[in-house]
């Protein structure tokens, strides 16, 4: 026995060095990475005490939870994402730890990634950000976010992948695969129905089953079943009167039951509100906002987490058994063996030239050319460029909530334009005053954006500077300040803030060479749309933001981004209008001791283009994006005119570049049920492909249609159903630019 104990000590030491010996009969199974993970999980679990099991299911610091030191099982370390690896904070607080080597690459916001409509770029994104997480020795990256863009005031829409569940589902899978190829677990968030920030802790979402399954769950399901995500974050809000962190339907019945999820469910920070319900049906791992999840500064704070000492007391009193505890401990062990105890995972890297190149490429391909009358863009041999707008210089990586970053580099749009046109005179005028701050949790931009001029003077100075310019580029939009694109609060207006409309109107009256660049993660009103020849939708693009924008404005990169959400004319055109829909109605009584706001999704499945197809009010449609070249679509061809319920058919459309430059087009497939017996949208996205073509080149784009593409969720049967009858395959360049239709029959 002494010899075996000595070997165990050697094995534990070897694990800390990453060199555990293989296939030695004296080495415990859980330490032998040649053994199947399930065998290792069972072996490690069998050696744990009750105290160790309780310890492993809740936090020990702001971003970490314990492993099992006695067994050499490492801690779990989480980091905020999903656009970059968060700066290190103090053990118990949000304040900075003061590290000098935690400055990172800031990647484009996920709204921008979704706008690429490019699965390969999503995988590249995931691989690169996963490398940065691995370099910092993180176990879990808290992202990506796939909550549906329900309406344009949600402060956190910039962190998500748009309004359509199919697009979000297709884009999240390669991101997940890319991150986890580094031995770092993703944590797909915020599961589920977290579609606004106001009242997010007390909002009880009321939504019918069909809407839940068709709109709000598919992207999460894709991440779990196709991407094989290793963890999921439960949201703050409630569903069916139960907090998401202890929700039996969404966690036990759907996620772990119907979808077979074998990973870890992590609470959003401070999202757990009771012990017994959470122990029976809730998260596996509890993290908190303050040191006890509720208030700051209590003694032995982590021991009073709901899944800490109160959990053990409930077991000892017989109020709950240990089966649920055992299951969650095994899930946590499984994640640890997939990550920290996988000796084959790569070492990672941070702020490498490859990461900067990836960020620049993804950023450039995300930018959407909304309008380009007269071919004003790309800019050709400019002698004088006047850049107007605070967003041309304001750093955007700091602020916005948990996705705030400490970037090693952030190239501003102004600097990107100057670098691209070194021989041109580039003049900057502020135009308006927005947010002069630039600090979040101790990370500061170091910028002094205070301004002494009043609004009228700023506009007058901008108009004067614009005289005689070859191009005037207004760069404005939203920012990461409170009530803009930011966590915790929603926007308070659909129109541009800070009086920007007046600046744009004045510039449009002064010059016909005006380009408006909107930087945001949300749609905004554009009452000046018909007065401006060129409009560009930009995003929060991170480290290489300025270079990405300059690449597109110059034509070095032909724009190929397409909108992942609809831009309506006005807020009155969007589907969320009543108080009951948002921000909700205060109900009588409390749940878990908290007041509750009932928020009812009365618009049902009619979110995004599904709504606008029926009601109009579209400024720029979902899927819209122009190019510096043009594309011609031929008639779609079907492989056959009918299909059986369990069969497939193929629709093929020829696409030709009819312009003078190389470019990429996003070909979109929508399906319409022409003979539905139930209420169905006019059409739904069921396929897309991004194709690059040389001038004059022609190529076929094919999509496979199966039963899933034709089905709706029958709530009474609790099953996906495809009704026999006639369907339409509609191929186009946006939801409102359908180039061809082919009919077929499901038998």
Strand ranges, E, within 640-695 = 642-643, 649-657, 663-673, 684-693
Question: Which residue reads 């314990």 in tokens?
Answer: 66
Q: What rounded mean pLDDT belongs to the chain?
A: 95
504 pLDDT more than 90:
yes
Of residues 268, 284, 501, 551, which has the active-site annotation? 268
Collect all residues with Cβ–Cβ distance below 8 Å to 494 and sequence separation of at least 6: 152, 153, 523, 524, 525, 570, 571
Distance CA 696, CA 277 (A): 63
Q: Is 490 a catalytic residue?
A: no
Q: Go through the domains of the chain in sequence order and give each one's CATH number.
A: 36-338 (3.20.20.300), 367-556 (3.40.50.1700), 629-746 (2.60.40.10)
Mean predicted confidence (pLDDT) in 679-687: 98
Tokens encoding 401: 């909530």
Question: Which residue reads 């939801």 in tokens?
Answer: 735
| 105 pLDDT tier (thresholds 50, 70, 90) | very high
Phi, psi values for residue 100, rounded to 5°: -110, 0
At residue 81, the pLDDT reads 86
Give tens-digit pLDDT for 457-500: 999 999 999 999 999 999 999 999 999 999 999 999 999 999 99
| 296 pLDDT tier (thresholds 50, 70, 90) | low
Distance CA 143, CA 122 (A): 13
* C-beta of residue 134 within 8 angstroms of C-beta of residue 346: yes
Bridge partners (DSSP) listed for residue 443: 440
| 517 pLDDT tier (thresholds 50, 70, 90) | very high
DSSP 8-state code for residue 614:
H
Mean predicted confidence (pLDDT) in 663-685: 97
Mean predicted confidence (pLDDT) in 674-688: 96
At residue 27, the pLDDT reads 85
CA distance to 71, 302, 311, 622, per residue, from 53 (Å): 12, 15, 11, 48
Length of the chain: 747
Give tens-digit pLDDT for 184-223: 999 999 999 999 999 999 999 999 999 999 999 999 999 9
CA distance to 34, 216, 253, 292, 720, per residue, from 223 (Å): 27, 13, 17, 31, 19
At residue 17, the pLDDT reads 42
Distance CA 543, CA 107 (A): 6
Distance CA 128, CA 121 (A): 10
At residue 1, the pLDDT reads 39
| 16 pLDDT tier (thresholds 50, 70, 90) | very low
Give tens-digit pLDDT for 226-245: 999 999 999 999 999 999 99
316 pLDDT more than 60:
yes
Distance CA 582, CA 199 (A): 10
Identify the CA nearest to 179 among candidates 264, 81, 273. Answer: 81
- Give the SS3 label for residue 273: coil
Question: Which residue reads 């796939």 in tokens?
Answer: 146
């Amino acid at each position: 026995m002494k010899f075996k104990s000595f070997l165990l000590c050697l094995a534990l030491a070897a694990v800390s060095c990453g060199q555990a010996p293989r296939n030695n009969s004296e080495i415990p199974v859980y330490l032998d990475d040649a053994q199947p993970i399930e065998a290792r999980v069972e072996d490690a679990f069998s050696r744990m005490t009750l105290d160790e099991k309780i310890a492993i299911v809740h936090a020990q610091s702001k971003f970490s939870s314990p492993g099992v030191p006695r067994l050499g099982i490492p801690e779990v370390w989480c980091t905020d994402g999903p656009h970059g690896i968060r700066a290190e904070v103090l053990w118990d607080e949000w304040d900075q730890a003061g590290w000098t080597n935690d400055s990172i690459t800031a990647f484009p916001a996920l709204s921008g990634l979704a706008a690429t409509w490019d699965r390969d770029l999503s995988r590249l994104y995931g691989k690169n950000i996963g490398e940065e997480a691995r370099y910092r020795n993180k176990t879990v990256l808290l992202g990506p976010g796939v909550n549906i863009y329900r309406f344009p005031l949600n402060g956190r829409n910039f962190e998500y992948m748009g309004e359509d569940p199919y697009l979000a589902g297709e884009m999240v899978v390669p991101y997940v695969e890319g991150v986890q190829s580094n031995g770092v677990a993703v944590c797909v968030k915020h599961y589920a129905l977290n579609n606004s920030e106001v009242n997010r802790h007390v909002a009880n979402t009321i939504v019918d089953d069909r809407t839940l399954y068709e709109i709000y769950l598919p992207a999460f399901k894709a991440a779990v079943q196709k991407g094989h995500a290793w963890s999921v974050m439960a949201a703050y809000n409630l569903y069916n009167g139960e907090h998401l962190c202890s929700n039996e339907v969404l966690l036990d019945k759907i996620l772990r039951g119907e979808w077979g999820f074998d990973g870890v469910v992590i609470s959003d920070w401070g999202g757990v509100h009771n012990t017994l319900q959470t122990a029976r049906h809730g998260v596996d791992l509890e993290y908190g906002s303050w040191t006890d999840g509720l208030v700051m500064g209590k003694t032995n704070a982590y021991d009073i987490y709901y899944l800490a000492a109160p959990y053990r007391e409930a077991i000892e009193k017989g109020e709950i058994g240990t089966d649920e505890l055992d299951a969650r401990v095994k899930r946590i062990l499984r994640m640890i063996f997939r990550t920290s105890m996988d000796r084959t995972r790569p070492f990672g890297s941070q702020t490498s030239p490859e990461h900067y190149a990836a960020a620049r490429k993804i950023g450039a391909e995300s930018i959407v050319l909304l309008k380009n009358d007269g071919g004003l863009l790309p800019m050709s041999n400019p002698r004088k460029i006047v850049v107007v707008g605070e967003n041309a210089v304001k750093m955007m990586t700091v602020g916005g909530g948990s996705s705030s970053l400490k970037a090693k580099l952030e190239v501003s749009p102004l600097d990107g334009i100057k670098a691209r046109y070194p021989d041109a005179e580039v003049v900057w005028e502020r135009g308006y005053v927005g947010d002069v701050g630039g600090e979040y949790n101790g990370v500061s931009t170091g910028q002094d954006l205070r301004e002494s001029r009043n609004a009228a003077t700023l506009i007058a100075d901008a108009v004067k500077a614009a005289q005689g310019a070859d191009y005037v580029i207004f760069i404005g939009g939203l920012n990461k300040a409170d009530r803009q694109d930011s966590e915790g609060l929603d926007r308070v207006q659909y129109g541009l803030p800070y009086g920007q409309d007046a600046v744009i109107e004045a510039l449009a009256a002064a010059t016909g060479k005006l380009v408006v660049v909107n930087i945001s993660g949300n749609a905004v009103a554009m009452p000046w749309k018909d007065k401006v020849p060129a409009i560009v939708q930009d995003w929060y693009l991170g480290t290489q933001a300025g270079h990405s924008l300059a690449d597109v404005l110059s034509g070095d990169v032909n724009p190929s981004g397409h909108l992942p959400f609809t831009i309506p004319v006005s807020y009155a055109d969007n589907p969320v209008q009543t108080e009951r829909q948002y921000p909700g109605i205060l109900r009588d009584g409390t749940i878990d001791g908290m007041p509750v706001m009932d928020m009812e999704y009365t618009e049902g499945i009619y979110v995004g283009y599904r709504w606008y197809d029926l009601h109009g009010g579209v400024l720029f449609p979902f899927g819209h994006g122009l190019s510096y070249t043009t594309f011609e679509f031929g008639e779609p061809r079907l492989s056959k005119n009918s299909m059986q319920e369990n069969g497939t058919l193929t629709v093929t459309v020829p696409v030709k570049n009819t312009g003078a430059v190389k470019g990429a087009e996003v070909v979109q497939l929508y399906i319409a049920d022409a003979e539905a017996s139930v209420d169905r949208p006019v059409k739904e996205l069921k396929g897309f492909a991004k194709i690059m073509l040389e001038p004059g080149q022609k190529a076929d784009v094919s999509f496979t249609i199966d039963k899933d593409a034709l089905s709706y969720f029958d709530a009474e049967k609790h099953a996906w159903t495809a009704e026999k009858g006639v369907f339409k395959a509609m191929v186009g360049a946006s939801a409102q630019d359908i180039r061809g239709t082919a009919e077929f029959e499901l038998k």
